[in-house]
Amino acid sequence: MTPIRNAMTIDVEDYFQVSAFAPYIERDSWPARECRVERNIDRILAILEAGGVRATFFTLGWIAERYPAMVKRIVAGGHELASHGYGHLRASDQDRAQFMEDISSSKAILEDLGGQAVLGYRAPSFSIGPANLWALEALHQAGYRYSSSIYPVKHDHYGMPDAPRFAWRPNGDAGLLEVPITTVRMGQRNLPAGGGGYFRLFPYALSRWLMRQVNQRDGQSAIFYFHPWEIDPGQPRPDGVNLKTRFRHYVNLDRMERRIEALTRDFAWDRMDNIFLKQS
């Protein structure tokens, strides 16, 4: 049988743009900081090429403007270019007009640099939830066809645990397709199974087992995500970061690259648009 294709996704941002670092790093200081995203993306592109994997890169407009050649390399590698907003502002921290400007400007920048339509969006820190579901309608109005912005888990920074676990259309058949990050249902709770800090914290064998449950038990594609800074244990470390944030950000960075390589061998992968838009 042909294996189920899973979606490999990368949220293209630099280490100093992480939402959890916002209390410690002033946004105005970004242009003066050492950027490491380009070298990390090139390493990721090499890993994906070696594994024969095509992925979706949810890219900040702020990054794309500064590294247009990197954007072109992503597209040249056969990958999908999608939006992560312009400057990593959480959707929940913007009103509708601000959000519309953010998603429209980032879409225009990426389409101009990449030379292809940008159909997908992922909110920084999965910041679409019960209080701002209007954002999904705004995305549709801005010309996006799908979002991957809702994580159906309970978390102190994000999450909508009662949301559907698999692709759904919140505003009806003609609306935007929402493709949530992967979870596995255990009892009355959804367990995170789609990457990020959980993937670095859990043993690799557990993460692999959870994703296989989605493929084999649910018969669904899994959506996996990670960030370029997660394969970069040598990144600068800001001063004053509290213990909880420091642990979440830095745990097992030195193991991440090997684990991504293992994923490319253990599962079948493709771009978000190829998996979800061509079957919807």
Helices (H), 52-167: 61-66, 68-76, 96-114, 134-141
> For the residues of 190-246, what is the DSSP string, one character each?
EEE-SBHHHHHHS-HHHHHHHHHHHHHTS----EEEE-GGGG-TTS---TT--HHHH
Looking up tokens 């743009």, which residue turns up? 17
What integer pLDDT is reported at residue 134 of this predicted model? 95
For residue 221, the domain's CATH number is 3.20.20.370
φ and ψ at residue 270, rounded to 5 degrees:
-160, 180
DSSP-derived secondary structure letter, 256: H
pTM, 2 dp: 0.96
Q: Domain containing 115: what range?
A: 5-277
What integer pLDDT is reported at residue 188 of this predicted model? 84
Cα separation, 243 vs 166, in Å, equals 34
What integer pLDDT is reported at residue 175 of this predicted model? 84
Task: Domain count for the chain, please give it.
Answer: 1
Q: How far is CA 29 from CA 26, 129, 240, in A?
A: 5, 29, 16
**Contacts (Cβ under 8 Å, ≥6 apart) of 259:** 199, 200, 204, 207
In DSSP terms, 11 is beta-bridged to 58
10-residue stretch averages of pLDDT, the chain, 280 residues long: 92 96 95 97 98 98 98 98 97 97 98 97 95 95 97 74 92 87 90 92 96 96 98 95 94 97 98 87
Helices (H), 30-184: 37-51, 61-66, 68-76, 96-114, 134-141
What integer pLDDT is reported at residue 229 of this predicted model? 98
